[in-house]
Structure 1
Amino acid sequence: MENMIFWLTFSTLGWTLICGSEMEQDFMWHLRKVPRVVSERTFHLTNPMFEADAQKVVKRACGIECQKALPAPSLSELEDSLSYETVFENGTRTLTRVRVQGLDLEPAQNGTPPRAYGRRKRHVYGTDSRFSILDKRFLTNFPFSTAVKLSTGCSGVLVSPSHVLTAAHCVHDGKDYVKGAKKLRVGLLKMRRKGGRRKLRGSERSRRDAEGGRPSGGTAERPLGGAAGPRRRTESGRGARGAGGTPSFQWTRVKNTYIPKGWAREGSGDAALDYDYALLELKRAHKKKYMELGVSPALRTMPGGRIHFSGFDHDRADQLVYRFCSVSEESSELLYQYCDAESGSTGSGVYLRLKEPGPKRWKRKIIAVYSGHQWVDVHGGQKDYNVAVRITPLKYAQICLWIRGSDADCAYG
């Protein structure tokens, strides 16, 4: 009965979102030419220690007033921040320097950055407005099926057949990579079939032994069928054979991890919130529908200023949690909002639903990465928000470069 009430409420809200305010104005995606981020030279770095704790440490948080007052970064500063580290599955690491082309820099301004304050444990404001996605018809279908869980405890979103977008602090604390990033895995939700465990084929058994994990169902040809991960675990970490229709995670290893140098400041720990995003390349491709990237539009062009994201909040074990809310404030790099969220949801892909210019079909795109709770100075006072890192034209070009391996198909976003 409780589930029935929930889905009635959710369906009603969904109908309101689709047939109400979003239909009143002709909100559309508009492709724009983005600057080019070109790889120039790659250097080998010493192997990371993987000794950091999995928590966000932000020494410098440039907020709303700060971004309006600070001088615009120079081209060389931008190129330095957009240069990136790649950590490979064997634990080795490289640094790739980039060159930015086709960028118009804004006039410099003067100012002083605001102070940053400690985080509170809770990120829920007033009445909890989150929705647990419990019905398997929704749980394993788009757009909810694009949400994934990281073995470090964060969330992420599928942005290609082989890539997951998440928050940088989920794998790196600004000084070093977190302990769980050395053998990082990504969990995709699936529905466990009836019948429990079955006898393994020889090829599946060999693959399982080679990767150090157990397959969670399916044949040897399935993209993530033998993905390594916690042995027959669900998202709560409890061993389970699972009854028919039970949601569980299908784990696969991460092949490469990409982090902007704006976050991974070698030795200094001077991680900038603006660069709290990372891309994970999976060892084995999946066949799920993924969410495309989009350049974050101005707040005035968002239907009701409303954003959406789904993740695996720690206080709702075994459940995918969806939420939506209106953006309260914006800066050039960040979205400030009060979407109810708890730890575990960080790294979720924040998306909009707008119309495509030609066919006028509704389409969802990822326009930000949920970073977590932050205190900033606003209008002379201290305010706390749940903050998301916007996908700006430069960040779009960089992430596109990571996904495609070159900037050839990254001219428009």
Structure 2
Amino acid sequence: MDTLQLALVFLSIVALHICIADETNQDYTWHIKKIPHIVSSDIVTLKNPSYEAELQLELNGTCGIECQRTLPPPSLADLEEYLSYETVFDNGTRTMTRVNVQGWHPETEMEGNKPKHSVRRKRQIYGTDSRFSISDKQFMTNYPFSTAVKLSTGCSGILISPKHALTAAHCIHDGKDYIKNGKKLRVGLLKVRSKRGGKRRKGSKRAKEDESEDADPPKKDRKQKRKSIQKRSAAAEELTNNLSGKERGSGAGKPSFQWTRVKAIQIPKGWYRDVSHNMSLDYDYAVLELKRPHKKKYMELGISPEADKMPGSRVHFSGFDEDRPGQLVYRFCRVSEESTDLFYQYCDAEPGSSGSGIYIRLKEPNKKKWRRKIIAIYSGHQWVDVNNQQQDYNVAVRITPLKYAQICYWIHGNHASCKQG
């Protein structure tokens, strides 16, 4: 057993003792809540995006928890404006869907809005780095670590259905336009490279399909065949050049990525700075629909409870920090301050981890079984307004009942699957 395995076993034992100790004082359970309905009222076709924005992993001038406490709560009309959403398809088509909110009760959204005056620290890593690199294939490709995905833009994300991944909106959109390489957005799913080096068995169904795709119809001449081969080779070379050495050249048995194109991107209108202004940080999330479904175990959505209703007030997430290329980095830490839509936390992290799904583990109602669910999206290192000054914090966007309803609707396309959360 290597050092990493020993460390993970030790952490598991510590976490177990914390949960047992906490459970004697409080019952940590996923409480079933009735979810409001997000109903589509109108769809408008927009012009194709220009894809001219630069990727910014650190945002400036955003309104954080202290700033938002000075603002009046949004009205129902405001929320319907913020929760309206834009969809961009892989062919460049773009639409705006306006929504109506039904069955919304403001009191269900106001949990966690009590002022808390705890000392916070900045995001930079000081002293001992508390992150853990998950390099062993047995851990990296097993749940829950296997739910983490990497975006071709350099951010992270998490699988939330067989065809959807959740990430931060700023990883693909700067609040005004889509980033430059967002047109060919890809999502990388963790996999273990086989000893055959990825070669398929002769006679397999997929191999036959590939052979039939490569074979030219009898009427095609050799020039057309050469052009087809050159086109596919150029596309493969372009993808290879976009990947780092660790992703491209990992040996047999080592983790690598299976890259999948994105079919559609959905972003709430509240992320657009000219719409929500000081509230844009609350809507820093996006859902990516994959072109092909995967067979991995994904993580379910959950509604974010207050920090004191989490075991040890701790959250967990894994992402692909850019200072550790080719490695999945796991961390857990305490929530230091929270509002209705945001919370600050102590986790050490670096650019590249933005967009990671933050999860906790609670008991299922009336059962002894514990289940992990995503309760927030890690927005990353943000410069936020605090008493008219810019300070940097680790910020996460909480999944509220309204956001749960919206994301669930994006996944299922109906309200029947999104009645309770």
TM superposition score normalised by structure 1: 0.86
Structure that is richer in helix per residue = 2
Is the alpha carbon distance of 1:315 and 1:205 closer, same or farther for their aligned partners in structure 2, counting shifts above 3 Å? farther
- Correspondent of 1:340 among 348, 353, 360: 348
Cα separation, 2, equivalents of 1:411 and 1:60: 36
Cα separation, 2, equivalents of 1:76 and 1:194: 57
Q: Which letter does structure 2 place at the counterpart of 1:24?
A: D
Q: Which letter does structure 2 place at the counterpart of 1:348?
A: S
Question: What's the counterpart of residue 22 of structure 2?
Answer: 24
- Correspondent of 2:314 among 282, 306, 309: 306
In the TM superposition, residue 236 of structure 1 has moved relative to its aligned partner by: 2.3
Question: What's the counterpart of residue 367 of structure 2?
Answer: 359
Question: What's the counterpart of residue 224 of structure 1?
Answer: none
Give the stretch that moved more between structures: 308-317 or 261-270: 261-270
The Cα offsets for residues 368-388 of structure 1, whole Å up to 9 and x where unpaired, read as: 000011244558986532110
The Cα offsets for residues 41-79 of structure 1, whole Å up to 9 and x where unpaired, read as: 100001000111111575653322333331111111110
The Cα offsets for residues 173-193 of structure 1, whole Å up to 9 and x where unpaired, read as: 011000111111000011101
Is the alpha carbon distance of 1:72 and 1:238 closer, same or farther for their aligned partners in structure 2, counting shifts above 3 Å? same
1:351–1:368: 8 Å Cα contact kept in structure 2? yes
Cα separation, 1, equivalents of 2:366 and 2:130: 35
- Correspondent of 2:269 among 233, 257, 261: 261
Cα separation, 2, equivalents of 1:176 and 1:234: 22
The Cα offsets for residues 107-159 of structure 1, whole Å up to 9 and x where unpaired, read as: xxxxxxxxxxxxx9963243210000011111100000000000000000000
1:263-282 matches, within 5 Å, as 263-265=271-273, 272-282=280-290
Question: What's the counterpart of residue 244 of structure 1?
Answer: 252
Q: Which letter does structure 1 place at the counterpart of 2:269?
A: K
1:29-44 matches, within 5 Å, as 29-44=30-45
Runs of 5+ consecutive residues of structure 1 not aligned to the other structure: 107-119, 215-226
Q: What count of residue pairs does the alignment treat as equivalent?
A: 385
Is the alpha carbon distance of 1:166 and 1:186 closer, same or farther for their aligned partners in structure 2, counting shifts above 3 Å? same
1:152–1:170: 8 Å Cα contact kept in structure 2? yes
Q: Which letter does structure 2 place at the counterpart of 1:172?
A: H
1:185-200 matches, within 5 Å, as 185-196=186-197, 198=199
Q: Which letter does structure 1 place at the counterpart of 2:181?
A: G
Q: Which letter does structure 2 place at the counterpart of 1:204?
A: D
1:197–1:241: 8 Å Cα contact kept in structure 2? no
- Correspondent of 2:379 among 356, 368, 371: 371
Q: Which letter does structure 1 place at the counterpart of 2:296?
A: K
In the TM superposition, residue 294 of structure 1 has moved relative to its aligned partner by: 0.3
SS in 2 for 1:399: helix
Is the alpha carbon distance of 1:270 and 1:300 closer, same or farther for their aligned partners in structure 2, counting shifts above 3 Å? closer
Is the alpha carbon distance of 1:407 and 1:254 closer, same or farther for their aligned partners in structure 2, counting shifts above 3 Å? same
1:264–1:271: 8 Å Cα contact kept in structure 2? no
Cα separation, 2, equivalents of 1:73 and 1:169: 22
CA RMSD of aligned residues (A): 2.9
1:195–1:243: 8 Å Cα contact kept in structure 2? no
Cα separation, 1, equivalents of 2:267 and 2:183: 14
User: Is it true that 1:389 corresponds to 2:376 in the alignment?
Assistant: no
Question: What's the counterpart of residue 159 of structure 1?
Answer: 160
Q: Which letter does structure 2 place at the counterpart of 1:400?
A: C
TM superposition score normalised by structure 2: 0.84
Is the alpha carbon distance of 1:399 and 1:206 closer, same or farther for their aligned partners in structure 2, counting shifts above 3 Å? farther
Question: What's the counterpart of residue 203 of structure 1?
Answer: 209
Is the alpha carbon distance of 1:362 and 1:371 closer, same or farther for their aligned partners in structure 2, counting shifts above 3 Å? same
Is the alpha carbon distance of 1:375 and 1:178 closer, same or farther for their aligned partners in structure 2, counting shifts above 3 Å? closer
Cα separation, 2, equivalents of 1:228 and 1:369: 32
Is the alpha carbon distance of 1:205 and 1:152 closer, same or farther for their aligned partners in structure 2, counting shifts above 3 Å? farther
Q: Which letter does structure 2 place at the counterpart of 1:139?
A: M
In the TM superposition, residue 36 of structure 1 has moved relative to its aligned partner by: 1.2
Percent of residue pairs bearing the same amino acid type: 61
1:309-328 matches, within 5 Å, as 309-328=317-336
Cα separation, 1, equivalents of 2:197 and 2:63: 51
1:35–1:397: 8 Å Cα contact kept in structure 2? yes
Cα separation, 1, equivalents of 2:368 and 2:52: 49
- Correspondent of 1:402 among 393, 410, 415: 410
Question: What's the counterpart of residue 225 of structure 2?
Answer: none
Is the alpha carbon distance of 1:366 and 1:379 closer, same or farther for their aligned partners in structure 2, counting shifts above 3 Å? same
1:58–1:271: 8 Å Cα contact kept in structure 2? no
1:310–1:322: 8 Å Cα contact kept in structure 2? yes
Question: What's the counterpart of residue 68 of structure 1?
Answer: 69
2:59–2:383: 8 Å Cα contact kept in structure 1? no
Cα separation, 2, equivalents of 1:403 and 1:246: 32
Is the alpha carbon distance of 1:127 and 1:28 closer, same or farther for their aligned partners in structure 2, counting shifts above 3 Å? same
The Cα offsets for residues 219-260 of structure 1, whole Å up to 9 and x where unpaired, read as: xxxxxxxx9896457962467464321111000100010000
- Correspondent of 1:5 among 3, 6, 25: 3
Question: What's the counterpart of residue 145 of structure 2?
Answer: 144
In the TM superposition, residue 18 of structure 1 has moved relative to its aligned partner by: 2.3
1:58–1:273: 8 Å Cα contact kept in structure 2? no
Is the alpha carbon distance of 1:228 and 1:21 closer, same or farther for their aligned partners in structure 2, counting shifts above 3 Å? farther
Cα separation, 2, equivalents of 1:317 and 1:45: 38
Cα separation, 2, equivalents of 1:384 and 1:232: 35
Runs of 5+ consecutive residues of structure 2 not aligned to the other structure: 108-120, 215-227
Higher gyration radius (CA): 2
Question: What's the counterpart of residue 94 of structure 1?
Answer: 95
Give the stretch that moved more between structures: 336-345 or 123-132: 123-132
Q: Which letter does structure 2 place at the counterpart of 1:320?
A: L
2:123–2:348: 8 Å Cα contact kept in structure 1? no
SS in 2 for 1:307: strand
